[in-house]
A and B are shown apart, each in its own frame.
Chain A
Amino acid sequence: MTHDMTTPRPAADDSVGDRIRWTLSDYRVVVGQEFAHLVRQPANFAWQLGFPVVMVLLFVYVFGSAMDVTGQGAGVGYIGYAMPGLFAMTMAFGFMNTAFAVADMKEKGFIDRVRSMPMASSAIVVGRNLADTIQAAVDLAVLAVIALLIGWSSDGMLWQTIAAFALLLWLRFSLIWVGIWIGLLVNGTEQAGNLFALAFPFGMISSVFTPPELMPSWLQPVAEWNPVSATATSIRELFGNPVPIGDAWPEVHAMTAAIIWPLVITAIFLPLGVRRFRNLGR
């Protein structure tokens, strides 16, 4: 054993400026760790994409052939309707991966370790979200390439297409806060896994695959007011894909709703997540 070891001390963070600088540095380190995962374990990433890809193929080739969303006969134009829905669904379900990963960190004592360290208490929560949002962008790009390969295309202008993808990520970004909060709330990964039973209807009772007009009247408002619907409807508009819409407010003002919903979700769940992290010891 060496006895001439350096015994480093952390830099002081007593001034406000230092604290902000170190907090940003903490975020960067946490995001960097997530990327190191991606590089070292690409297989995990591939598995995560498996579900949406299988859904694309199922919906377009199996269910799609029986659906008449354009009024021009079963199967006609369905891919144009379904692909934006699948993009939205991938964004809607993705937060479960976050919840699962956070629950796993908590279960394995990782969260305890970082909570006993002199880092910013928001770093794990915020860093996690930034990393997962960036990863969602990669998910989305892969999915878009698959969609192009099976014959989907965006008829919108370039800025509209970009805006559509931005709205998708905006939805995912807001839902990741929910995922982090859930992950910190549940006891273990098993409970986090069970929550998929809640997330599935949340994604499905929407205009993702079926126009709400075709649903029973009591379910229609749920689907119409679902944040996922707002994003799905507005990106359909931006992509220039078929958009059969009803006259409910969130459908008529889908774009506004697609911007405001994630804002509301973030405003609620970001503070909840940070607070939950700080209060784990109560």
Chain B
Amino acid sequence: MSSSVIEAHGLTRRFGETVALDDFDLDVARGSVHGLLGPNGAGKTTAVRILTTLQRLQTGTAVVAGHDVVREPRQVRRRIGLTGQQTAVDDLLSARQNLVYFGRLFRLGKADARARADELLAQFGLTASADRVPKKFSGGMRRRLDLAASMILAPDVLFLDEPTTGLDPAGRREVWEAIAGLTAGGTTVLLTTHYLDEADRLCDRISVVDRGRNVVDDTPDGLKRRMGAERLEVVATTPEALESITEVVKAVGTGEPSVEAEALTVSAFVHDPVDALVSAAAEIRQRRLEVADLGLRRPTLDEAFLELVGRETA
């Protein structure tokens, strides 16, 4: 069995004059959570629609769960689940009726569809609300029901298109927890998002998508490392101490330290993070300086993202 569950090469898709995907490549490892991260209009949704057989492919090849999306769409559909941008559940039916209905359309027998509905209600924490209509659910609950409907066949690949867009913080956390539990059953998850914290938190690998291309493919940590070295950051307790602290930081860092006077913070890139931290700490003790905080800081994914996309498009 191949270790890749999605292999896409040279996907191109135009809508009239607009190029939604431009020679887009993607390789997703089995059992992983893979994120497509990018701004709105980057081509993430088009990629998902092509991989889920919803959108016709113009050029390129895509194999999902071992089957070609163009030549064997029915085989692909049996092995995937899709949760689109909107919650596609039937608001007039109860949560349980929804899952039984979708189970039947996934061609389970009546008894199997009912049994599976009950399992999924339990898995997604909806048993207590099973007989209520989703119209009355919170955003997070609706989304969980939506996820449950996509998991009916325990698909090889689950596609989630912006699973938490429009949810409040509590709803996002609920959905994150639900997603984190999915791969336990062997399902690979491909999700799109424009939230960096979401990608950082959920994904094993991230593809940064911009203008229809897969710009960078890396782990969240790897993406941050691409930003360059780590920074040593020291926070002073009083404005008077800033000058001495700047001297200390300058001695261990590379280049001129940046000083944020209002935040009482001095920071600089360092070559050897541990060495720099130890030397700075010793020097601070030596000079009998008081500091509020002393530490190493990785760039945030936000910074990495802006840097990467900016570099590409500049």
Q: Do A and B bind each other?
A: yes
Where the two chains meet, the residues of A that have a C-beta atom closer than 8 Å to any C-beta of B are 1-3, 5-11, 13, 22, 25-26, 29-30, 32-33, 36-37, 40-41, 44, 108-110, 112-119, 123, 280-282
Q: Are A5 and B54 in contact (CB under 8 A)?
A: no
A2 near B106: Cβ-Cβ < 8 Å: no
A11, A115, A116, A118 — which one has the most chain B CB atoms within 10 A of its CB?
A: A116
Question: Which partner residue on chain B sits nearest A108 by CB separation?
Answer: B86
A116-B52, A116-B53, A116-B82 given as contacts; is B92 within 8 A of A37 (CB)?
A: yes
Contacts of B144 in A (CB 8 A): none
Q: Which of B116-124, B214-222, B260-268 contacts A (4 or more CB under 8 A)?
A: B116-124
A-B contact pairs, 19 of them (CB 8 A): A2-B123, A7-B153, A7-B185, A33-B101, A36-B92, A36-B97, A37-B90, A37-B93, A40-B94, A109-B84, A109-B86, A113-B88, A113-B102, A113-B150, A114-B105, A116-B54, A117-B105, A117-B106, A123-B105
Report the minimal beta-carbon distance from A128 to chain B, rounded to whole angstroms. Answer: 13
Asked if residues B84 and A9 are in contact (CB atoms below 8 Å), the reply is no
- Please state if A112 and B82 are interface contacts (CB–CB under 8 Å): yes
Q: Smallest Cβ distance from B45 to chain A, in angstroms? A: 11
Query: Within the complex, which residue of A26, A115, A118, A282 is in contact with B56, where a contact is CB–CB below 8 Å?
Result: A282
- Which of A11, A113, A282 is the most central at the interface, judged by chain B CB atoms within 10 Å of its CB? A113
- Is B84 touching A113 in the complex (CB atoms < 8 A)? yes
CA distance A40 to B95 in the complex (A): 13
**A29 near B104: Cβ-Cβ < 8 Å:** yes
Pair B74/A118 contact, Cβ less than 8 Å: yes
Whole-angstrom distance between the alpha carbons of A280 and B112 in the complex?
Answer: 31
Closest B residue, CB atoms, query A115: B54
Question: Contact at B181–A281, with CB atoms within 8 Å?
Answer: no
A268, B203: Cα distance in complex, Å? 49
Contact (A13, B107) CB under 8 Å given A8-B112, A113-B84, A281-B49: yes
Interface residues as binary, B75-96 with A (CB distance below 8 Å gives 1, 0 otherwise):
0011011101111101011100
B280 → A minimal CB distance (Å): 45
A8–B123 touching, CB < 8 Å? no
Q: Check A7 against B86 for contact (C-beta < 8 Å).
A: no
CA distance A25 to B107 in the complex (A): 8
Known: A33-B93, A108-B88, A113-B88. 5 other contacts (CB 8 A): A1-B181, A2-B119, A112-B88, A118-B77, A281-B53
Interface residues of B in 217-233 (CB under 8 A from A): none
Q: How far is the CA of A213 from the CA of B153 in the complex (A)?
A: 62
- The residues of B that contact A9 with a CB separation of less than 8 Å are 78, 153
B145 within 8 A of A: no
A58 to B65, CA, bound (A): 61
B104–A1 contact, CB under 8 A? Answer: no
